[in-house]
Amino acid sequence: MVAPRAAFVSQRTSLDLLGIPRDRYLALVRAPGFPLPVTPIGKLRMVDTEAMIAYLRALGAAPPNLNREEHPVENDTDLAAEPSPESEDSAARKLGSDLGFTFTDQPASDAPASRRRSRR
């Protein structure tokens, strides 16, 4: 004899009934635009099991690039390459100057020593 399927699924039962971990279930039902009614009972977020299964199947059947246009890359540079320290420094200086900060051109080793007293 097989037990009937639970009428509602919550974050406690989502892994057993749907195969979805608790944190991902909560993120899904809390997401803006989640189409199914969610019934809060204490800390639990309950959703009709059959409706949730149908919703997940519809998500799996939807094409991945529904409203996204693909644009070719214009230049042939390696996007995963690490930027050079010089370009990082100049970018940080430009951002800082745009925000109103001023920079001295002293290297960190020439910076004045701390005036903190040592305990004896």
Interval 82-115: pLDDT, tens = 656 666 677 777 777 776 666 666 545 544 555 5
pLDDT over 60 at 65, yes or no: no
Q: How confident is the model at residue 2 (pLDDT cuts 50, 70, 90)?
A: confident
Q: Is residue 42 part of a domain?
A: yes
Distance CA 75, CA 81 (A): 14
State the total domains in the chain: 1
Q: Is residue 111 part of a domain?
A: no
Distance CA 20, CA 24 (A): 7
Q: Is residue 79 part of a domain?
A: no
Q: Is residue 2 part of a domain?
A: no
Domain enclosing residue 40, as ranges: 8-61
Q: Is residue 19 part of a domain?
A: yes
Q: pTM higher than 0.95, yes or no?
A: no
What six digits make up the tokens of 86? Answer: 């010089």
What pLDDT digit, counting tens, does each position of 25-58 carry?
Answer: 999 999 999 999 999 999 999 999 999 999 998 8
Q: Is residue 50 part of a domain?
A: yes
b/e map of 45-74 (b: 16 or more CB within 10 Å)? bbbbbeebeebeeeeeeeeeeeeeeeeeee
**Residue 94: per-residue pLDDT:** 73
Strand order in the sheet with 44-48: 8-9, 44-48, 39-41
Q: Is residue 90 part of a domain?
A: no
Q: What are phi and psi of 8, to 5 degrees?
A: -125, 150
Q: Is residue 25 part of a domain?
A: yes
